[in-house]
Structure formats: structure tokens, C-alpha cells
Amino acid sequence: MPFLFHDVIFGPVRSRRLGLSLGINLLPLHRKFCSFNCIYCECGWTPAPAREGMELPSRAEVASFLEEKLKQLAKENYLPDAITYAGNGEPTLHPDFSGIVDDTTKLRNRYSPHSKVSVLSNASRIHDPFVFEALLKLDNNILKLDAGSEETFRVLNNPVESFDFARMISDLERFKGNLIIQTMFLRGVYNGMTVDNTTSGEVGEWIGHLKAIRPKAVMIYPIERATPAQGLEKIRRQELEKIAVLVRKEGLEVKVYD
């Protein structure tokens, strides 16, 4: 069964990467809305056509719900470590993402100044100047890069529309280090093809991209929940740690989550 969020504001939940995280779901409340159709996504497959029947929360609704929740958490002395755009797909698809970032920052400063405003994004819309500038304002600009080669990227992440992999890499470099790269490692068989981003060739190409991007940190992790594609393997921590050693040799900070 897909793992979906049915509220605009959810949690706080314990995140393996961000601590106590208050989630903001800018997507529909009962279906996935995403620019990718990743074979491992806990939200399930991306419905087709991807953009039909969209009911997104308005900018005003997001601000109102967030303020109400932060007031409640302040009274309970349970303020989060992070306020995170996540939810049922790709948060930067919301047409008012930039304005929502500004509203969230103001509310964070007023009610929970120690919280880090964060995003979990697939980096598919960083070519949009408004999205790019909004992401630069975040404390934790966490962007996905799951593969070294375009071939493996297309199998793992499966963009639902035309997509330029080389341009994405170039745009990631434009952040000049003001980003965190997150990478899901897995192997298995999908549609009769072997998919494996842990091979020496894939890891080598991936590290080559990291050397050009120079992120302030790298997060690597295995599958955690059920995946829509069957037969995918969770990579053991020992294997992920070996990949992390290679990243550290390039002078980059990396942490393994499992």
C-alpha cells in the first residue's frame, strides 16, 4: 500500500535525517503528485496523467495551518528540530513554492527560531529561477541524486515528462555548495532489467558528479518502506559505509542512514 500523508501539516515525526520534523505537504492529500515515478517511492507509482485532478493547498492555507500547529507545539514545549517540505510527491511543483518559503521562514522566526526549514526534493525543477532562489533560502536544501549515469537515473527515477539529466547536474553545481545531496542505494530487477547503483562504475560516476557539485553534505541511505516495484534489495549498512569512505576521500562530509 502507498504511504501517503492526508494533512497539509503532519507530525512532528522522527526523521532518520532531520530529527524531530514537522512536515508540510504541499501536494494533494489523497494521491501522489510528482515529476518522477521512482521505482522505490514509498508513496507508490505516480498516477498518469500526472497533472490531472490536482487540488493543492493555497499559500494562505499553508501559512494558516502552520501557524496554528506551531502555536500548539509551543504550548506543549514540543517544537521541532526541522520544518520540512515533503509529503505526497515533489514539493517544488506547487506554483507558490517561493512565497510559501517566505511565509514559513517568518513563522519559524516567530514561533520556533531554532527549527531548520528544510526540503526533500528530487531536484527536477531547479532550472526554474523562482524555485532555485527559494531553495537558496532554506537551512537544509536537500536534493536527490540517485545515480551516476543517465541510464541508471532513468530506470531508478523515471521522469514522467521530458528531462535533461546533464542540465540537472549543471544546475546542481550552480548552488555553489549550498545544498545537501541525498542518495538512495539499491539493487534488483525491474521490468526484466538489472538495476544497481552500487556498482563500482555507477559509484565512480556519482562521486564524479559530487566532486563537481561540492555539496556541504551527502546523505546516503537504503530502502526503508515497501516499494511499488517488487524485488528491490535493501543495501546493508556495511556496504553503504564502504561507499561513504570513497566520498570522504574526496573531502566531502557524508553520513549513512539506515
Average pLDDT on 243-257 reads: 97
Sequence-distant (≥ 6) Cβ neighbours of residue 28 within 8 angstroms: 53, 54, 55, 56, 88
pLDDT: which is higher, 9 or 1: 9
Please list the residues that pair with 118 across neighbouring strands.
Answer: 84, 140
In the chain, how many H helices and how many E strands?
A: 7, 11
**pTM of the shown model:** 0.95
**Fold observed for domain 9-256:** TIM Barrel (3.20.20)
Per residue in 143-153, pLDDT (tens digit) is 999 999 999 99
Q: Provide the residue ranges of all domains of the chain, joining segments of one domain with +.
A: 9-256
Q: Is the dihedral of CA 164, 166, 169, 173 positive or negative?
A: negative
User: For residue 1, what pLDDT band results from cuts at 50, 70 and 90?
Assistant: low
Q: What is the largest CA-CA distance in the chain?
A: 54
Amino acid sitting at position 233? E
Cβ contact 136:128 at 8 Å: no
Residue 51 pLDDT more than 80?
no
CA dihedral in degrees (158, 161, 165, 169; nearest 10)? -100
Per residue in 53-108, pLDDT (tens digit) is 578 999 999 999 999 999 999 999 999 999 999 999 999 999 999 999 999 999 99
Per residue in 12-32, pLDDT (tens digit) is 999 888 999 999 999 998 889
**Phi, psi at 103, each rounded to 5°:** -65, -45
